[in-house]
Homo-oligomer: A and B are copies of this chain.
């Protein structure tokens, strides 16, 4: 495994919201940064692995990345326009713990996403 190239993270920060690997790459090129597409992919994957960035998918399937808040949260995503709301999951946390306990599981993590149509769509 490789470590994340700091310039990739810096570019993603500057990008503001979500950006795909291809977009981050093009951005860096426009700004004169010398970097390979492969390294951009590797760095973003590494950042996701370290839970420093979130990854989701556009409707067309392209993966998009964005800086993640430091606390654990879940997502409410619009299927149509991609608008994303980070939501709290107190109920989910309890549910996950209860289910794990009930079936004798330990060291559990969980994933939970809600998707639908936002008010604008």
Which of B61, B87, B89, B117 lies in contact with A107, CB distance below 8 A? B117
This chain: how many copies in the complex? 2
Query: Would you call A85 an interface residue if the criterion is a C-beta within 8 Å of the partner chain's C-beta atoms?
Result: yes
Tell whether, in the assembled complex, residue B114 and residue A100 are in contact, meaning their CB atoms are under 8 Å apart. yes
Query: Would you call A30 an interface residue if the criterion is a C-beta within 8 Å of the partner chain's C-beta atoms?
Result: no
Which residues in B have their C-beta under 8 angstroms from that of A95?
Answer: 89, 91-92, 95
Identify the A interface with B (CB < 8 A): 56-57, 61-63, 76, 78, 85, 87, 89, 91-92, 94-96, 98-100, 103-119
Which of B63, B89, B105 lies in contact with A118, CB distance below 8 A? B105
Tell whether, in the assembled complex, residue A115 and residue B106 are in contact, meaning their CB atoms are under 8 Å apart. no
Q: How far is the CA of A105 from the CA of B114 in the complex (A)?
A: 10
Tell whether, in the assembled complex, residue A114 and residue B91 are in contact, meaning their CB atoms are under 8 Å apart. no
Central interface residue in A56, A63, A95, A113, by most chain B CB within 10 Å: A95
Which of B89, B104, B115, B119 lies in contact with A56, CB distance below 8 A? B115
Which residues in B have their C-beta under 8 angstroms from that of A109?
Answer: 114-116
Closest partner residue, chain B, to A108 (CB atom): B116
Interchain nearest-CB distance for A55 vs B (Å): 9
